[in-house]
Amino acid sequence: MITLKEVLDEQFKEVTFDKRLMDAIYRYQVEFLNRNSEHLAFFGSNLIGVHAIRFRVADTLKFYKDVVDIDYLELERALKKVTTISQEFKIISDAFNLTMMYIIHRLATSAKLTDSQKKRAIYDMALVFFYRCIAIRQSDYFHFPADPKISQAAYAKLSNKFLIKKVGTWRAVMEYRAKELIDPKGLHYQALVVFMDDTAITYAISDSENRIRDLYKNYYKVFHQAYSEGNKITSTSSTMIDAEGVEKVREKINSTEQYVSYIRTAILDKPSFVRSDLIEAIVSINTNTSQRMLTSTLGWLSDHYNDPKYHLKIDEYIRLIVIHSFHLLSEADPKILKDYPSLLLLLKNLYLSTRSSDADLLKIRKLGDELIKNANGSVNSSLAMATRTSTILYITLRAIIVSAAR
């Protein structure tokens, strides 16, 4: 029989559970909470689906590298050998979930920390666990942000039995659950401190995760009810567009000028125009793109749109992109209109076609090259081309998404 404690003790034998580690966990927790405006807005709000938060693979790797200095892949392999837990269940056998519970155990029993330091350290570790739980739920249910009006209507419908209704914000929910997990009089505290009963440890994980899942799932049911009562949503929990959605896409394609006007208005507000969630979606389609460079280019376009030196070029650029992209989509196979990734992939291939002699496309490329150089200075041709294509896709996606809310 191979237990969790045996494996984790061996993997963490070089780790010292002291104030340095306590401070590293605190910094990691705070950095996640403050990653960007979307994270800050989400945790300060009580709405579902409106703000994009993600707990990425890079966040997991960063924790193991920068906080505990452990080889994540080796740890994951070692945990697969544990015989006292069911490896078939993803949540309770997840290496990161198990790691967080183990670190709570080691911090709570460390001789190198005062009682007040222990309390703070295990609280921060518990917060990271719940941040990850809620980020997974948000990204599972919403690939694209929801209409705030729908979410506000859903929140208004919630009864006082919902924890989010009682405490007011998602951050308060996270804090409530974290304190509950590490409460010495709570259900799971003793099992985590002793860390000898693997069934009890995995139950602490599943029970805690289920509390977040159930809250989110039940909130989403109310959200869906609000949507069904006649409201519209910018996106759904999948990237698929139904038959009615295909008709909406076709309808918007035939009325491009209003979406040109929308982009002209949207670009003026940099914080709302440059959205990290949509940038990530574009980067996942056009994988050779620099996320940093795409972000800086979009920011530059917003900053300089009303600059007399650049206004005409930027305005012509965004106008041609919307009109030309919608024209291309109007000629596409209806099957392509059923999901956003297919739309973007189609447009990517068309814009990258080296044999195209379309005058508008050539003009878009020329303007894009000039503006990207103005925004970023001299860069190598392949990076400039990738940024140009991704900028086109981003502006098109903004126009496509807003139409669903109208």
**Beta carbons within 8 Å of 381's beta carbon, 6+ residues apart:** none
Q: How far apart are CA 112 and CA 128, in angstroms?
A: 22
Q: pLDDT tens digits, residue range 158-172? A: 998 999 999 989 999
Distance CA 385, CA 292 (A): 15
By mean pLDDT, which of 42-46, 65-69, 297-301 is the weakest?
Answer: 42-46
Is the pLDDT confidence value at 351 over 70?
Answer: yes
Q: pLDDT of 374-389, one tens digit each?
A: 999 888 888 999 999 9
The whole-chain average pLDDT of the chain stands at 86
Residue of 51 and 132 predicted with greater confidence: 132
Q: What is the pLDDT at residue 194?
A: 97
Residue 402 has pLDDT above 70, yes or no: no
**pLDDT score at 136:** 94
The mean per-residue pLDDT over the stretch 35-63 comes to 91
Tally of CB atoms within 10 A around 225? 13
153/224 Cα distance (integer angstroms): 10
> CA of 201: how far to CAs of 16, 101, 133, 177, 197, in Å?
22, 7, 17, 16, 6
* Residue that has been written with the tokens 């009864």 in this structure: 159
Q: Indicate the pTM of the whole model.
A: 0.59
| Contact in structure between 275 and 266 (CB atoms under 8 Å) | no
- Per-residue pLDDT tens over the stretch 304-344: 988 888 888 998 899 888 888 887 777 666 555 556 677 77
Write out 192-235 in H/E/C secondary structure.
HHHCCCHHHHHHHHHHHHHHHHHHHHHHHHHHHHHHHCCCCCCC
- pLDDT value of residue 375: 92
Give yes or no for a contact between 175 and 127, defined as CB atoms under 8 angstroms apart.
Answer: yes
137-155 per-position pLDDT tens digit: 998 888 778 888 888 888 8
Return the minimum-mean-pLDDT range out of 35-39, 255-259, 349-353. Answer: 255-259
Least Cα distance to 144 among 297, 299, 343 occurs for 343
The reported pLDDT for the residue numbered 247 is 45
**Does the pLDDT at position 243 exceed 50?**
no
Residue 96 has pLDDT above 50, yes or no: yes
pLDDT digits (tens, 9 = 90+) for 172-224: 999 999 999 999 999 999 999 999 999 999 999 999 999 999 999 999 999 98
**What does the pLDDT read at residue 352?**
76
User: What are the φ and ψ backbone dihedral angles of 339, each rounded to 5 degrees?
Assistant: -155, 145
Q: What is the reported pLDDT for 406?
A: 40
At 56 the pLDDT is 92
**Phi, psi values for residue 240, rounded to 5°:** -75, 145
The answer on pLDDT for 242 being more than 70 is no
